[in-house]
Amino acid sequence: MGLVVEGKGLTKRFGEGEAGVLAVNSVDIAIREGELIMLMGDSGCGKTTLISLLGCILTPNEGELWIDGDQINHPDQDLSVVRREKIGFVFQLFHLLPYLTALENVMVAMDLAGEKNDQAENRAEELLTQVGLGDRLEHRPAQLSGGEKQRVSFARALANNPKIVFADEPTANLDSRQSENLMSLVRELRQEHRTTIAIVTHHEGLKKDADRIVQMKDGRIVSE
Amino acid sequence: MKSIFLKDMAYRRTRVVLTAIGITVLILLILFLGGIMNGMRIQATQYVESTGADIWISAEGSGGAFIGFSMLIEEYMAQLNVAPGLEPHSASPLVFAQARPIIRGKPSKAIVVGYQSGKLGGPAHAREGRMFAKSKFAGYSPEAEVDLEVVVDEKMGLEIGERIVIGGKELKVVGKVESLMFVLDTPLLFMNVRTAQNVLLGNYPRVNMMIAKSGKGVPPEKVAKQFEYSPLKIEVRTLQQTIDDIIDYYVVSPMRAVTFLRVMLWLAAGILVGMITYVTTLEKTQEIGVLKAIGASNMYVMQLILKQVVLISIVGVLCGLILSFIFAAVAPIFVSIHLLESIIVAVISFLVCCFSGYLAARKAVAVDPMLAFRGEI
């Protein structure tokens, strides 16, 4: 299986001098196609910063990054193109747009990629049906439960057939039943789409689903 | 999904509506104030143009017929009536002065126009009733009886035979003429030049201007120029110079603050849109961060904000335009809004709003997608 994401010597520093924080310190990481990887560690160990670097949201101070075989040239490349074409994101607080329905929230991702409206609508409906929300298409986020919102969030992340989905603490705001339902959805989605997924989590109970667990401490990977 | 900006606007409809109302009110005020100034310009010139005179004579150093203190004696008439360049015997004396007539027991405002019936200076015929009795300007005698008759503007609502009081003298309304209001809807009261001298100038045998017509084929400018070297102590202006004087004295100078206010209103419209867009953008930074995290380009975010600004501005400007014409029609004073001017105002206001919206949208473009990892929308 080929590498979907590969980072070498990735370093991210926030601030300057003594007040500066070295959030990610010279990290080497490779994520293979179809893999479910979990990044674990204490709060502040650099997990979210690392997936932000891998997801082309942050620019590293040092290091190199390849996504789907292409090296990311941070200063000169339009990273929004990489994010919408190759990466899907799932956020801890769901971050669905409150003025759009579930269907429209999924369509937005395809709208950004220039997908035609009717095609985007069909695919969004298909994805929402897959995540068990076929009867919630016209509901707005305020009318959905936390678990349902996170399912919409997963559907949105998958909308553009990304090479990898990064999920930041996707179960942190869900109760145990909702968390279990969500992980069962993740398993189904992996089987269905063979999607590569990287999940940042504190939740020890999720470990059983992981192909690989990356443990972080003080901005470094301490075990794999 | 082309209507994401519309859905966002519908979600924040209260703010959208308030912004559009704000722009509407500002455009309305800009156009309405301009319309008042236009109305004043029209009213300031329509009487002067109606006299048929193209040469206006005032006392030397007065600054113009309608501007400063000017008093002329009857001896000038004889010289003007034979002056080269002027139509023979076209010169006519004129009293033009503000008055405070008592109408039906209440003090009012009006302009008294005293002229010789049948000569330059005022209407030749009444629409209803008759013109005031003729009398001579020359051969002044303080003891001579004066006809206390007045011809009023038809819009004043006075009846023939009714009495009004000016300068303590009672005048009888003998006729009505077509409405010809002066600045700020001030009605004109026409009377014989001797009557005007009697009620306003303490029967003093002077007038504050004389008017005449230039001779056939002689440009008024040339006539005015030839009097520069005349031994007569007078100032001579053409119709256009007189109109310019009146507009400057009665409209431009007093309305300078209003002109400044109009510019301020434009700025206010821009600041209003800019501030609301800026505040809305700040409120939406998390959403914008999420959009950027899932792949929205800077251009997409910029367009999202600008489409909203453009739509709100168009709605606000159009409503302002429509309302300004409606308000002008029902206003208690004469308001004249020109279509071309209103289009220019609308375009400039629209551009000001869009520019300030663009400045605020730049803030949105600069939003860090990392915000998607923090806080709630």
Tens-digit pLDDT profile for residues B29-76: 889 999 999 999 999 899 999 998 999 999 888 877 787 777 887 778
Average pLDDT, chain B: 88
Residues of B with CB under 8 A from a CB of A: 1-2, 4, 7-8, 10-12, 286-287, 290-298, 300, 369-370, 372-373, 375-377
Alpha carbon distance B295, A89 (integer Å)? 10
Alpha carbon distance B191, B121 (integer Å)? 10
Structural domains in chain B (count): 2
CB contact under 8 A, A80 and B290: no
Structural domains in chain A (count): 1
Q: Residue B5 is encoded by which pair of tokens?
A: 């900006």
Query: Does pLDDT of B320 surpass 80?
Result: yes
Query: Does pLDDT of A24 surpass 70?
Result: yes
CA dihedral B113, B117, B119, B124 (to 10 degrees): 90
Closest chain B CA to residue A117: B1
Query: Does pLDDT of B139 surpass 80?
Result: no
Same domain, B116 and B208: yes
CB contact under 8 A, A104 and B7: yes
Domain boundary residue among B250, B275, B301? B250
The mean pLDDT of A25-39, rounded to a whole number, is: 94
Question: Is residue B138 exposed (0-12), middle (13-18) or buried (19+ Cβ within 10 Å)?
Answer: exposed
- Report CA-CA distances (Å) from A203 to A30, A40, B375: 22, 8, 20
Q: Is residue A16 part of a domain?
A: no
Q: Is residue A191 part of a domain?
A: yes
Sequence-ordered alpha helix ranges (H) in chain B: 4-11, 13-50, 75-81, 193-200, 220-226, 239-246, 256-283, 285-293, 298-330, 339-365
Residue where the block lists tokens 């002229």: B115
Question: Is residue B63 exposed (0-12), middle (13-18) or buried (19+ Cβ within 10 Å)?
Answer: middle
Query: For chain A, how many helices (H) and strands (E)?
Result: 6, 10
Query: For chain B, how many helices (H) and strands (E)?
Result: 10, 14
pLDDT-based confidence at residue B78 (cuts at 50, 70, 90): confident
Same domain, B168 and B143: yes
Q: Which residues pair with B83 in a beta bridge?
A: none
Q: Is residue A2 part of a domain?
A: no
Same domain, B340 and B360: yes
CB contact under 8 A, B372 and A81: no
What does the pLDDT look like over B204-215, one tens digit per residue? 888 889 999 999
CB B149 within 8 A of CB B192: yes
Query: Could you tell me how many residues make up chain B?
Result: 377
Domain boundary residue among B250, B273, B292? B250
Q: Looking at residue A196, which CATH number applies to its domain?
A: 3.40.50.300
Q: Is residue A88 part of a domain?
A: yes
CB contact under 8 A, B370 and A99: no
Same domain, B217 and B331: no
Same domain, B199 and B289: no
Q: Is residue A142 part of a domain?
A: yes
Query: Does pLDDT of B377 surpass 60?
Result: no
Q: Is residue A210 part of a domain?
A: yes
Same domain, B20 and B142: no
B26 to chain A, closest Cα gap in Å = 30
- Region for residue B373 given its phi and psi (left: phi exceeds 0; alpha: psi -120 to 50; beta: otherwise): alpha
What does the pLDDT look like over B17-35, one tens digit per residue? 998 998 899 899 889 999 9
Q: Is residue A204 part of a domain?
A: yes
Identify which of A52, A83, A120 has the shortest CB distance to residue B1.
A120
pTM (two decimals)? 0.78
CB contact under 8 A, B372 and A91: yes
- For residue B289, the enclosing domain spans 4-43+254-373
Q: Is residue A196 part of a domain?
A: yes
Same domain, B212 and B293: no
pLDDT for A18: 82
Same domain, B233 and B111: yes
Same domain, B273 and B173: no
Q: Residue A98 is encoded by which pair of tokens?
A: 């409150």
Same domain, B72 and B206: yes
The mean pLDDT of A87-97, rounded to a whole number, is: 91
Positive or negative: CA dihedral B39, B42, B45, B49: negative
- For residue A107, the enclosing domain spans 36-58+78-223
pLDDT for B113: 95
